[in-house]
Structure 1
């Protein structure tokens, strides 16, 4: 979202912009009657600007560019219209007035007729949260059709694709019947989609730059629960070409087809569009192309990645080489989770987990902006769960069994500084330093979270190691001051593990564990 600061002139509503809007309205007064009806007259514009002066209007979250291009063959700018953010507009503005303001914001990206073009993604989910604020009632489909017919020609002509993500049942039922009779060319641009993820998986459209609200994440969760086939199956072996399941697509009609053909294609497409929203088998309704699945080819998401590759990809960013996901999760945890008892220890049963996992499995360079502070506020246990999953789902464990003996011999902070950290790779050292810093700051709120440095070490240690012997891993995740349970000790001896104790230490106890080392590190961070 920070990249949009360079476009601030598009979103301001001061007196200067007000004058421009007045000039814009007067310039359009000489056009045809149809064009003139879509733009405010001088008197209505003055009334609108008076309202904007009394109530500043920020449309940067309602209509904004993603600063990315649509994939071939339509290489044009992508813009997003988020209906869930419409409630941020002043309630005194009518839908007609708000539409004209958004039209003004859209104009720089439209270009002149026959030159340039743009792609519009409509996130059709409404914001159902916030009972204390007045809810804006969005107009029905008749209003949108009426507005579309009265748009200046360049807005319609230069629109190359229109994606409507999760349209309502009423909208997706009527659109296939209405749009062809308005304009067959317009209908060929229309792509109603059941899910935001299908925008990427079915159409290869990058999700980068799209700001997802909590209501959008919740809507995605409901859709994916009913339609898990939206996401292509993950291949059983990484790197292999695996075929994907058939997924319905919306048929297009030729702009030169006859009226009879329009009618046939309209009915056919309406049935297919309706079928794409129902959990029924899809026979002969199209499929993903036979190209390699986006999850298999090229760049990957955050799951099952090599740590060195992730750190290398993040080099040069504003986070100092730390993956953006970790930074966003860390900020959300320290902002919203510090008042929750048992954070990291208690697990989240949120229905949003599968959706977040699916979104984070999209290639990192293609991922949308997730509202982690909102998610953490809704469920403070969810960001720690995602962070723990990330750490435990690496291609290789963060700490391999090659450092186990060194962990056992690490008894002081000086040992961590002079022995343990120098033995790590630069990527592992960078990640652990960030993680320990986060846990240290979180431990300062132990009075409310009931999670001191030892408790945090106990819950985070198991996700950092995954050696060939689970018994050895289990012993390393015990508190160093407590004896090894007899049953666990016996299994360790059967496996041939060396549990010899040091001189002066009682039988049944060991030198140190990963939990003990992490406890010291978290408690005394930063190491001077």
Structure 2
């Protein structure tokens, strides 16, 4: 996801064009993932490290209000591009509590002796609580346990380095077993299957059961919960809920005592659709929203929505109607249309290959915000037989 789409006049273009800092989808708990790739850092004389620090803050500022995950690819850091220890120390101090609090996991991939030396230097500065968030991973395959690996756009240099490390292992382990062909979905499957599949298996119901239940629960018990949709849930709980849904067994969210669990389930359901709710075909149109005159943007959104397949339109209308309700209670839940858009934008639309670049966030979030804020206008002129609203 090269971040070269920023205008050359953008204040961070000089740093962003290297693709050092990138957005990489979500982890297994629905938290946004940001990656930092050392191999993309040019020699120090070509990179203003102060600007890099500013850009990293600029990127994280979009997520620090929500739980997020950071993946640090260490390979490629060398004497030519390595920042000074003084810079590293000032950088750590620069990121105050708001950046550290909601950072739920920091994965350091391919650590070296340099990392161990750094740890000893910084140990007096790093709190025990923050230190527990750091996980060292020797191989890329270890990421699969924690993240949606296929959403990561890992630099080719890092992939080659990982393979070299494996080849150098004494006794070279047996090659990774070939993955078996994908099994057909269960008749009761709810996650990772198409809207059409769900409709066929649920006697023609247009709104998927998992969406209907989570929205109903959140409408009754979550509308005034501060930070709704901003928090993550434990991986174990999410696995349990997914399994229940996919086996067609009842899910009682009262049993978990946490309103954020159905909120994460709803986001995860959307993200695991084989095709985004707004469809791949609409991606380029949506990216163009920032180039539309402000007074015409709602009309432009309406045109995109009118072009959606009927089923996608009905499900989207159901969801946006609910999110509009949530935004109407923002005095309590602090979730305005803008805040909700930051959470849901990338769960409604993503490119056919890879994840969206950082520069795509602005138009994707703007489009989603318009849908939420202007819901009555945008969805007023098209109705479908059998559609329901929350």
TM-score class, shorter-chain normalisation, is: 0.3 to 0.5
Higher RCO structure, 1 or 2 (CA under 8 Å, sep 6+): 2
For normalisation by structure 2, the TM-score amounts to 0.46
